[in-house]
Structure formats: structure tokens, C-alpha cells
Chains A and B, each alone.
Chain A
Amino acid sequence: MTHASPTPTKKYDLNFARWVYENVDGGDRMALCMQCGTCSGSCPVGQQMDYGPRKLFMMIRAGLKEEVLKSNTLWNCVSCYNCVVRCPRKVPVTYILHDLATVAVREGYAEAKESDNSRFAKAFWWSAAKYGRTDERLVTALYYFSFGMGEGYKRGMANMPIAMGMVKTKRMHLGMPHKCKNTGELKKILAKAAEIEARSHAGGAGNANPAGGTAGHDK
């Protein structure tokens, strides 16, 4: 287990906690966390995380921005909502982890961008946004080949028997990907959503940089 106690070698971003409270989905309630440990104790995949949610929240408060945004905790949450249901402070732990994951990608952390879950999410989103449907073949292919040509081929071939079985039992089809009825409308909706999101994040993420100072945070 990595140590989070303050050492002179660690970099602290003293504005990070404030930035999370104000900009991350559910972050305002995170300010109420009393470190009881219910979330980490409830987590079915806590052992597969670098840090449990309780510890991650403490690290956010400590300003360990790098460690937080590089951690696999953000990506290994399976959205079971056990922690959200049990949290005595009604902290929406799941929302916070998911939104921190997008922050990590937006800020360009290699650990975030190259994580399995991030690669898969990217492939999934590409298909969902393009067709309004997820096409197993395209999603899997995109995900596998994100590891490179050789690796993609290797993983693809390893899964071929499963794919053939699915085709045989009509769980997967051959031919053109299925689409929703009106992809044009879908694109308009997504464009609007992107516009709203850009508006709410305008100038936000930059302030989380260690060098970013408190610009825009005069509270």
C-alpha cells in the first residue's frame, strides 16, 4: 500500500480540494465527509483500488492532486452505489469518482488515458455517439486496437470463438451496424450537451494545476 503521509518529496496543490468542491459533480457534498470509512468498507472492488474512496477524499483534502488523478480508484468504481446508499453524509461517491475520471483525462494524465477502463469507455462512447447504439464488433475492435496493431490482432483472434458463438446464437449480427432512427437529432443533442458542459467547465480545470493559483476562486 502506498503511503499518503506528508513527506517533503510530495507535491501538494493546496487549491485542489476547493476546486473539487466547486467543480466536480457532487464535490460540494464531499466537503461534508467525516472519514467514517463506510464507503471503503462497503466497496466490493475496494481491494482492486489504489486507495478506497475514504482515503482518496482525504488525499484530495491534503492536496495530493497528482496521486488522486493518477489513481486507478477513479476507473475501478463499478457504480454499485453501495457507498452512496450507506454514506451517513449523503456524499455521492460514485458521481465524484466518475467526474474525477473525466477530469484526469481532460488534464492529460497518461495513467488515466491509458487505463483499460478509459480505453473501453472511449470506444463505447464513439459507437454510442455515432450510431445511438453500441456495436459489439466495433467497440471491441476499437478497444483492442487501442493497444496497437499486434496486440489488437492477438486479442481479437483470442476472442474469435466467442464471437462466432454469439453470431451463431444470434447474439451478434454480421453486416452494417444498427443505428437509432434519427442520428441527426442525436448529434444535435450531443452537441448541445457538449456546449453546456464546456460552459460549466470554462476556465475551471486550469485552476487545479499546481501553478494555477486561485484565479477565479475568490471565496
Chain B
Amino acid sequence: MTDSTSRSRTIMVVGGGISGITAAVEAAEAGHDVVLIEKTPTLGGRVAQMNRYFPKLCHPTCGLEINYQRIKKSKRIKLFTMSTVEAVKGGSHGYTVTVKTAPRHVKPNCTACGDCGQAATSEVANPFNYNLDKVKAAYLPHTMAFPMRYVVDPSVVGTDEGRAIAAACKVGAVDLDEQEKSFDIEVGAIVWATGWRPYPAQNLTAYRWADLPNVVTNVEMERLASPDGPTKGRIVRPSDGAVPKRVALIQCAGSRDLNHLPYCSRICCLASMKHAAYVREQIADATVDVYYIDLRAHDKLESFIHRIQRDPQVRFIKSKPSRIEPGAGDNPMVCGENTLTRDIYAEPYDLVVLATGMQPSTAEGKMPSFDGDVDDYGFIFSDGEAISAGVASGPLDVSMSVQSATAAALKAIRAVTVAR
């Protein structure tokens, strides 16, 4: 440690998912000022959208709650929600980061009483439930939102509905005149915890996710199984709300495929085992068929696969299905070759779940220029100047993301304290 330069000792963390939260909390608790930037109105990211974690099937609300407490108690973390990084300038002596904040139209004195939601009449898309349902134009992002503050959708600004929403607030927290803001922050290091998105299932044309209602993705399955999801946790067919008796889980939907994501997304096999467990817990007479190329249980988690394999109502079929066709009664028909028996099959199911993989958010091309480097798929290389945490650096599960984020916090601390 030397006194070195005039480099700012503030660390910026971009992304408020489990990795960003962890990096921010670790750096702050080690005595550094942290600026945490989150694109959506709430922290929690993809983890908040999970029903449960594998392998212990515990609820993510638990881990998030502990971290929210740590953020609340810390005087060193400055949180900016609904904010994105527009530009990064600088290099070895620190960075000037331009941050843009979209209007939430709700001030910090919001008590989350819900009166504005009652006053709202129109509905808007609900990305938290992967658009399986809609929310009122004045909404709480989800039950575990942090900050616990409502959002008023910009679509009602300047309308009678907007004025009614503002009038409904007893504490006067609704501010329809709020404008987009842009400001610069000087920081000494940036941790990119920009996370991932599910690979777009509409690209898998042979699997017909876009036009067959009972073909869903694994992230949608998480919402269907979640108590705060669109079905209040009941696993049902989207087409008719019926309880599925035959469920197919299709692995490597878009992963390990040179036409889509060439890499193994690492988490999907275990996530599907979790989905088999959800179905079998809820529906006693349901059967689950898992279609796989290879089952890949990373790290120490093979025992979780073995546990599911012991269930006689879960079958494992070694095959990458070639296509899904519409069947009678909205039952998707899964077609392909069983590579062990060499039989050609066409099996009807009540519900088909595609285990889509993880694509880095940076693949969407909205990344501001920075001095780091990304690989062919958009994952940020962690060597060199850029510091990445969690799935921004490669496909990881939650516990590995937390480890990665802790390491990233240490790298950031070193970058702002050690002279180069």
C-alpha cells in the first residue's frame, strides 16, 4: 500500500443482481465507497426471479434479504436504480463515468402502500414475470423489491390516469414531472456485473416456443412455480390452466449449438433437475421426461442429479429432440431419435420446458466502450484492466457468482489502493 496517485478510491459496480450486490457489499464492508448502478427499478436481478435454488431447493428471498440488510446498514453504498452507464472515459488514473437515470416518477418518501396501484387502470408489460402476465401502470416491481418503492410507468404521464395516480398518493410521493437525468461520477475502478439474459427462445424455430402456448422456457417455469408468480406458484399449462400430467424437459435448447450459443451454459442441467422436483412435488401422478445430450452436473452437485434419477416417475432419454410439432388438444409433440434404443419417437406432452442457456447481457450490444475486452460470445475477460463479476464473466450458478463477485471486489480494492 502506498499513497500513490490522486486516483479516486470509489468503486463503481454496474449491475444490481446477486453478483453486483455481493461485490458492492464486500467492497463497502472493506472500507471503500461504492456506487451501485442498476438498470431496473429494483435490486435482485435474475435471482429474484427464481423460485428456488439448487441443490437444496431453498428460496432466494433469504439470501437477498440478508444482502439488502447489509446494504441498508452500510453508509458507503450509493445506489442508483433505473440507471445505466452511458459512457466511460479515462484509464489507469481512474474513470469518469456518465450515468443516465430514467424517471421513476415516485419519490423516496413512498411507503409502498399500494394506493397508486389501486388508482391505475391501464396495464403494462411485466418483465419480472417474463411477460407471462401484466401489471398496473403504477406497480411494485415485485414483493421483494429493494428499494421498496413503487414505479409509475411513463405511459400514463400527462394523462387523466396519471393525475388520478398522483392524487391517490397520501404522502405526495408521485412526481409526474420527473425528467431523465444524466450525471458524471469519478471512480477508481469499475466492476462489471452486468449479468445475463435467457437465450431468446424464438430463435429456436424447430421448437416452436413462439407459437405453441404449452412450450415454455426454463425461466418461465421458475415464474410458474413461484408463489409470487403469475399463477401463484401452481404449475399449469399456459393454454388452458390445466395441471400437466406429462412434462418434457429439453436440455441444451440453444446451448452447445453452433447455430445458437456454442458453449455449455453450465446451469441448465441442474436447473431442469430442479424443475423435475417442482413438478413431482406438486403433481403426484405426473411423469417427467428429460431429453439430454449429456447430463452435466458441475462442481459437487452430481448428487442432486442422482437424487432425481432415483425417482421412477422421472425418465431420462438420451436424445436432442429434432423438433416440436403441434399435437391434438394443444399438446406439443416432441420428435426425435432416442440414441440409445435408436427408435424414432413422437411423444405428446401437456407441457414442454426448454432449458434455454445464458447469454451475457453484453451480447445485446448496449455496452459502453471501456478498456476491457469481451470474448466471441460477449463475456468480459477478467484479466487486464476490466473487472467482471458473475455471469458477465461466464456462465455460473448463484454460489459461483457470489465467489466470483467477492474476487472481483478484491481486484477492485487492489486497483484503487495499490500504486501501479
Contact = CB atoms under 8 A, between A and B. Distances in A.
Contact of B337 (A1, A40, A88): A40
A47 B344 CA distance: 8
A55 B344 CA distance: 12
B321 interface: yes
Interface in B283-321: 293, 318-321
B258 A89 contact: yes
- Give the contact-size bracket for chain A: 20 to 34
B344 A88 contact: no
Contacts of B319: 36-37, 41
A41 B336 CA distance: 4
B65 interface: no
A10 interface: no
Contacts of A36: 252, 293, 319-320, 339
Nearest to A90: B258
A52 to B, nearest CB: 6
- Give the contact-size bracket for chain B: 20 to 34
Given A37-B338, A52-B344, 11 more contacts: A37-B318, A37-B319, A38-B320, A38-B321, A38-B336, A40-B339, A40-B342, A40-B344, A41-B335, A41-B337, A85-B259
Most B C-beta atoms less than 10 A away, residue of A37, A40, A85: A37
Given A41-B336, A41-B337, A54-B339, A90 B320 contact: no
A39 B320 CA distance: 9
Nearest to A40: B337
Given A40-B344, A41-B337, A46-B337, A88 B257 contact: yes
A52 B337 contact: yes
Contacts of B257: 88
Interface string A45-79: 01100001011000000000000000000000000
A183 interface: no
Contacts of A85: 259
A38 B251 CA distance: 13
B258 to A, nearest CB: 5
B342 A55 contact: yes
A86 interface: yes
Contacts of A34: 256, 293
A171 to B, nearest CB: 36
A41 B291 CA distance: 13
Secondary structure call for the B interface: loop
A127 interface: no
A42 B258 contact: no
21 contacts: A36-B319, A37-B339, A38-B320, A38-B321, A38-B322, A40-B336, A40-B337, A40-B339, A41-B319, A41-B323, A41-B335, A41-B337, A41-B344, A52-B337, A55-B342, A82-B322, A85-B259, A88-B256, A88-B257, A88-B258, A88-B320
Contact of A42 (B256, B322, B338, B339): B322
Given A37-B319, A37-B322, A86 B206 contact: yes
Given A1-B342, A37-B320, A41-B323, A90 B337 contact: no
Interface string B100-138: 000000000000000000000000000000000000000
Interface of A: 1, 34-42, 46-47, 52, 54-55, 82, 85-86, 88-90
A29 B336 CA distance: 22
Nearest to A34: B293
Nearest to B336: A41
A54 B337 CA distance: 9
Nearest to B262: A88
A42 B323 contact: yes
8 pairs of A and B residues whose beta carbons are closest in the complex: A41-B322, A41-B336, A36-B320, A88-B257, A40-B337, A37-B337, A42-B322, A41-B337
Contacts of B252: 36, 88
Contacts of A54: 337, 339
B4 to A, nearest CB: 50
Nearest to B318: A37
Interface in B206-225: 206
A55 B336 CA distance: 14
Interface in B243-286: 252, 256-260
B116 to A, nearest CB: 48
Nearest to A82: B322
A86 B206 CA distance: 8
B287 to A, nearest CB: 21
Contacts of A82: 322
A171 B385 CA distance: 72
A55 B338 CA distance: 11
Contacts of B320: 36-38, 41, 88
Contacts of B318: 37
A163 to B, nearest CB: 38
Most B C-beta atoms less than 10 A away, residue of A1, A42, A52, A82: A42
